[in-house]
């Protein structure tokens, strides 16, 4: 009888690395992240596509000044029509919603500027909700001016830092040069 020494299979050691570990590059998103991003992007795209159709939502409201339902009674004092009030409110709410979506999804350095029209539409919407206001679009600018100044200052500071990094210019050196060349005003009279 001959013995078979090779009849029992020997355990095989795996020398190749796991394929999952090879495909997981920290710079590349995983399939779950891609799926989540695709889902989020699809929901945002559907929202953006259907939000303008909310203007047709005004057709279900009455043309009269009073709207009564089982929950509450609403009386439109300034517009004298509930349908008109809803239409005017939606004309501010729809762009406000689209600007907010744009701001939340924008990754550019200038995205803070989008806060200015968001603030403007927000103030206009608040004044519309105050039913007895006579002028809707003219007084909000006075409340918005400090907000605009702050936002523009922040965006300009970001722009200067980006310009500094792109062109490798140290702007603090320019300040030092100006200070060293600065002469007192009485020396300029001579």
d(Cα 62, Cα 64) in Å, to the nearest integer?
5
Higher per-residue confidence, 162 vs 171: 162
Instruction: Kindly state whether residue 133 falls inside one of the protein's structural domains.
Output: yes
Instruction: Kindly state whether residue 187 falls inside one of the protein's structural domains.
Output: no
Residues 52-102: pLDDT tens digits? 888 888 888 888 888 888 888 877 778 888 888 889 889 999 999 999 999
Instruction: Kindly state whether residue 9 falls inside one of the protein's structural domains.
Output: no
The number of distinct structural domains making up the chain is 1
Instruction: Kindly state whether residue 190 falls inside one of the protein's structural domains.
Output: no
Q: Which of 115, 93, 94 is nearest to 104 (CA)?
A: 115
Handedness of CA 24, 29, 32, 33 (dihedral sign): positive
State the pTM of this model: 0.59
For residue 79, the enclosing domain spans 34-179
* pLDDT band for position 181 (cuts 50, 70, 90): low
The answer to whether the beta carbons of residues 97 and 103 sit under 8 Å apart is no
Mean pLDDT of 177-185: 61
């Amino acid at each position: 009888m001959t013995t078979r020494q090779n009849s029992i299979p020997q355990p095989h050691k795996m020398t190749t690395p796991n394929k999952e570990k090879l495909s997981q590059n920290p710079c590349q998103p995983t399939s779950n992240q891609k799926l989540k991003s695709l889902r989020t992007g699809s929901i945002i795209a559907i929202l953006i596509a259907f939000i303008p159709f909310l203007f047709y939502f005004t057709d279900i409201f009455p043309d009269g000044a009073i709207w009564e339902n089982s929950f509450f009674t609403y009386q439109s004092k300034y517009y004298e029509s509930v349908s008109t009030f809803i239409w005017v409110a939606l004309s501010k709410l729809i762009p406000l919603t689209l600007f907010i979506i744009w701001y939340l999804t924008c990754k550019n350095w200038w995205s803070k500027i989008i806060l200015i029209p968001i603030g403007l539409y927000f103030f206009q919407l608040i004044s519309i909700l105050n039913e007895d206001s006579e002028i809707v679009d003219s007084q909000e600018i006075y409340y918005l001016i400090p907000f605009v100044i702050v936002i523009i200052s922040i965006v300009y500071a970001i722009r200067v830092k980006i310009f500094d990094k792109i062109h490798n210019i140290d702007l603090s050196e320019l300040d030092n040069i100006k200070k060293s060349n600065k002469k007192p005003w009485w020396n300029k009279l001579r």
